[in-house]
A and B are shown apart, each in its own frame.
Chain A
Amino acid sequence: MSTTIPIGPFHPVLEEPEYITLQVDGETVLDADMDLGRIHRGMELLAQEKTFDQDCFLVERICGICSASHSWATALAYEDAAGVEPTPRARYLRTIVHELERLHSHMLWVGLAGHIIGYWTVYMWGWKYREPILDALEAITGNRNNYAWYVPGGVRRDVPDEVWPPILKALDEFNDNTNLLIGAVLDDPVILGRLKGVGILTKEDAIHYGALGPVARGSGYDIDLRRDEPYGAYAECDWNVIVQEDGDLLAVSVVRLLEMLESVKIVKQCIKNLPGGEIRNEIREIPRSEGVGHVEAPRGESFHYVRTNGTNMPERHKMRAPTFVNIPTYRPRVKGETISDATVIFAIIDPCYSCTERMAAIDPTGRRIANAQDLIKLSHQKTEWLKKNL
């Protein structure tokens, strides 16, 4: 006989109000149902009341974490409808912001995954390392999130050359920190115990459900729009698509971790090879037409379709975020698993917070008693102890 366990619609582990019901027999999950619709904001109707310039800024509000993706996809859709290409400098500047966004989004997920499995060290580390990336985005665009960066035909403002050296330095540090984190996470018996062999999504299911982004690539489904339909400056950069075959939670986590190193490579190449010239091919009017724009957001493809009617407002603007497609993959993943793994399996599609945390160990008088390196050393000692004693 099965029992029904409700999760949500408001629950500490869920980043947004979603209602999941689990059918369980003892500790084993038999089936799951996802009920959406508690945060619907009518964006598609709102877009029909905005001019195409304003529309790019509206769609950033879909998600604070991958706001650049929606905005870029919308700009591409209008450029497709108008038959206009962005300038070379705009393509590079767009790519830089997009990849920095991937870095902070993936690092946010790393922290959040640590939080969900009760591993607070990973949570603190992840969110600490994320901070310099947000600072870099602020230096380039003026905002930590919702950058108002992408406009049809190019980007909103130019960036002076003196902005880049501190960002390159921050990227080098981020690269080192990420390598450290990857080593720590993949070497940790507790994390491996929670993620390895848990919540498997087969490649066949990934294709049949139309899975996207790291969720798809973690199951061996080798798709990435940055390579498959190159936009921005991706075709001019040297980087690799990360694919893992196992389909479990560990495989998706590894994809996200290794992708960050690739993103660092892309941003550094874009800064090094940034062309001069104009930042925008201005679009004065868009004829009666239709256009599709889609980009590889941190969570997978963001897809936007616009139909224009010769005025300065879209007649129809369809938006689809990757989570809409990835949510159904929860069902094949969670069947047969235990209740205690149900939340982390849901989190593997990458929940979405906007927040910041910093880390420092201090005594009651406020004096710093341990720095990050001391804590890393302690963490390594703990891992060694666990390996010997578990």
Chain B
Amino acid sequence: MSKQVIESLRTKFGDRVDILERNERRVYVTVANEDWIPVLRHMYEVEHGRLCTATGSDRSTGVELLFHFGMDQHGTVVNIRTTLKKPFPKIESFTQHYQAADFIEREIFDFLGVEFTGHPDPRKILSSHDRPADFHAMRRDE
């Protein structure tokens, strides 16, 4: 069921996408930072994926972003992954292309300190208003 999306990503991006098919309904695609927006735009504009949400995690390799696209027409979820360098993770915002990314990018900025450049409204969203500007609750830095 994921075959069509996998073929489409391979045709468009070739070796620049590392695709792991965990099962027929769940696909994980790893991309470099510079291919982040082109791949996300392809998922939304060409494959008509719906951005369910995104997961940000502080891992030993850096801050990992995982954008989950629900492919409702295929009954699958395609997850796009990239890793950002610490201590100041930064990447272009997807919100200017797809409004659904607005709140979740603000949440990842709030909890993990990822700067989404070009975000139209880069405010924190969930943590308390008196929180210090440089405190991000899910960062594991010493």
CB contact list, B93-142 vs A, under 8 A: 98-100, 102-104, 124-129, 137-138
Q: How far is the CA of A277 from the CA of B76 in the complex (A)?
A: 29
> When the two chains form their complex, are residues B100 and A209 in contact, meaning their CB atoms are under 8 A apart?
yes
> When the two chains form their complex, are residues B53 and A318 in contact, meaning their CB atoms are under 8 A apart?
yes
Partner of A210, one of B28, B79, B100, B138: B100
**Chain A residue at minimum C-beta to C-beta distance from B20:** A290
Q: Does A208 contact B (CB under 8 A)?
A: yes
List the A side residues contacting B38 at CB < 8 Å: none
Among the 9-residue stretches B10-18, B29-37, B66-74, the one with 4 or more Cβ atoms under 8 Å from chain A is: B66-74
> When the two chains form their complex, are residues A37 and B126 in contact, meaning their CB atoms are under 8 A apart?
yes
A316 with B126, Cβ < 8 A, contacts A209-B99, A210-B51, A305-B68 known: no
Q: How far is the CA of A316 from the CA of B22 in the complex (A)?
A: 18
Interface size range on A against B: 20 to 34
List the B side residues contacting A328 at CB < 8 Å: 99, 102-103
CB contact list, A276-304 vs B, under 8 A: 289-292, 294, 301, 303
List the B side residues contacting A320 at CB < 8 Å: 52-53, 104
List the B side residues contacting A291 at CB < 8 Å: 26
List the A side residues contacting B66 at CB < 8 Å: 305
Partner of A303, one of B68, B76, B103, B128: B68
Q: Does A113 contact B (CB under 8 A)?
A: no
Render B40-63 as a binary contact track against A, CB cut-off 8 A, 1 for contact.
000000000011110101000000
List the B side residues contacting A40 at CB < 8 Å: 126-128
**Chain A residue at minimum C-beta to C-beta distance from B124:** A37
> When the two chains form their complex, are residues B99 and A294 in contact, meaning their CB atoms are under 8 A apart?
no
> When the two chains form their complex, are residues A229 and B75 in contact, meaning their CB atoms are under 8 A apart?
yes
List the A side residues contacting B77 at CB < 8 Å: 229, 292, 294
> When the two chains form their complex, are residues B137 and A45 in contact, meaning their CB atoms are under 8 A apart?
yes
List the A side residues contacting B102 at CB < 8 Å: 328
**Chain B residue at minimum C-beta to C-beta distance from A316:** B57
Number of interface residues of B (CB under 8 A): 34
A303 with B138, Cβ < 8 A, contacts A210-B99, A292-B26 known: no
A37 with B125, Cβ < 8 A, contacts A80-B23, A209-B100 known: yes
A208 with B99, Cβ < 8 A, contacts A230-B75, A294-B70 known: yes
> When the two chains form their complex, are residues A292 and B75 in contact, meaning their CB atoms are under 8 A apart?
no
Q: How far is the CA of A328 from the CA of B106 in the complex (A)?
A: 13
List the A side residues contacting B3 at CB < 8 Å: none
List the B side residues contacting A45 at CB < 8 Å: 137-138
CB contact list, A370-384 vs B, under 8 A: none
Q: Does B85 contact A (CB under 8 A)?
A: no
Q: How far is the CA of A303 from the CA of B55 in the complex (A)?
A: 11
> When the two chains form their complex, are residues A301 and B52 in contact, meaning their CB atoms are under 8 A apart?
yes
Q: How far is the CA of A318 from the CA of B57 in the complex (A)?
A: 9
Q: Does A120 contact B (CB under 8 A)?
A: no
Q: How far is the CA of A221 from the CA of B82 in the complex (A)?
A: 30
**Chain B residue at minimum C-beta to C-beta distance from A304:** B53
List the A side residues contacting B103 at CB < 8 Å: 324-325, 327-328
B62 to chain A, nearest CB (A): 14
Q: Does A223 contact B (CB under 8 A)?
A: yes
Q: How far is the CA of A137 from the CA of B42 in the complex (A)?
A: 44
Q: Does A83 contact B (CB under 8 A)?
A: yes
List the B side residues contacting A315 at CB < 8 Å: 57
Render A301-326 as a binary contact track against B, CB cut-off 8 A, 1 for contact.
10101010000000110101000110
> When the two chains form their complex, are residues B55 and A229 in contact, meaning their CB atoms are under 8 A apart?
no
Q: Does A237 contact B (CB under 8 A)?
A: no
Q: Does A158 contact B (CB under 8 A)?
A: no
> When the two chains form their complex, are residues A208 and B98 in contact, meaning their CB atoms are under 8 A apart?
yes
CB contact list, A27-51 vs B, under 8 A: 36-37, 40, 42, 44-45
**Chain B residue at minimum C-beta to C-beta distance from A301:** B52
A366 to chain B, nearest CB (A): 49
> When the two chains form their complex, are residues B55 and A37 in contact, meaning their CB atoms are under 8 A apart?
no
Pull 11 A–B residue pairs with CB atoms less than 8 Å apart, ordered by A: A37-B126, A80-B26, A208-B98, A208-B100, A209-B99, A210-B50, A228-B75, A303-B68, A305-B53, A316-B55, A325-B103
Q: A208-B100, A305-B66, A307-B57 are in contact. List 8 more A-B contacts (CB 8 A).
A: A37-B125, A42-B137, A44-B138, A228-B72, A292-B68, A324-B53, A325-B100, A328-B102
Which 3 interchain pairs have the tightest Cβ spacing? A210-B100, A320-B53, A318-B55
